[in-house]
């Protein structure tokens, strides 16, 4: 069985994606990892990661906004925390 992480600009807030996943009964298979700070200059968190299969390591991954501006969105780094 496979586990994977997809990171990118989802053009929707993480809670909206989570709500859409509930509608499709997929929320138990997915972990959303989002920074706590806006990822777009205009505000809002649109850039984050999705881990499919809720692998055990998903609880150790965090998303951090990089303050260095690359475009109208801030880069997001995904880091593994120590156990």
Task: For residue range 11-50, list pLDDT tens digits in order.
Answer: 999 999 999 988 988 877 888 999 999 999 899 999 999 9
- pLDDT, position 83: 61
Whole-model pTM: value is 0.82
Please say whether the beta carbons of 15 and 30 come within 8 A: no
Q: Where are the domains of the chain?
A: 5-80
**Mean of per-residue pLDDT scores for the chain:** 86
What's the rounded mean pLDDT across residues 64-69? 83
In DSSP notation, 34-64 reads --SS-SBTTSS--EEEEEES--GGGGGEEEE
């Amino acid at each position: 069985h496979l586990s994977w992480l997809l990171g990118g600009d989802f053009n929707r807030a993480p809670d909206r994606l989570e709500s859409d996943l509930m509608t499709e009964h997929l929320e138990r298979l997915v972990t959303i990892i989002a920074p706590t700070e806006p990822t777009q200059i205009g505000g809002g968190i649109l850039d984050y990661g999705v881990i499919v299969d809720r692998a055990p390591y998903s609880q150790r991954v965090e998303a951090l906004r990089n303050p260095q501006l690359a475009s109208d969105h801030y880069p997001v780094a995904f880091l593994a925390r120590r156990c």
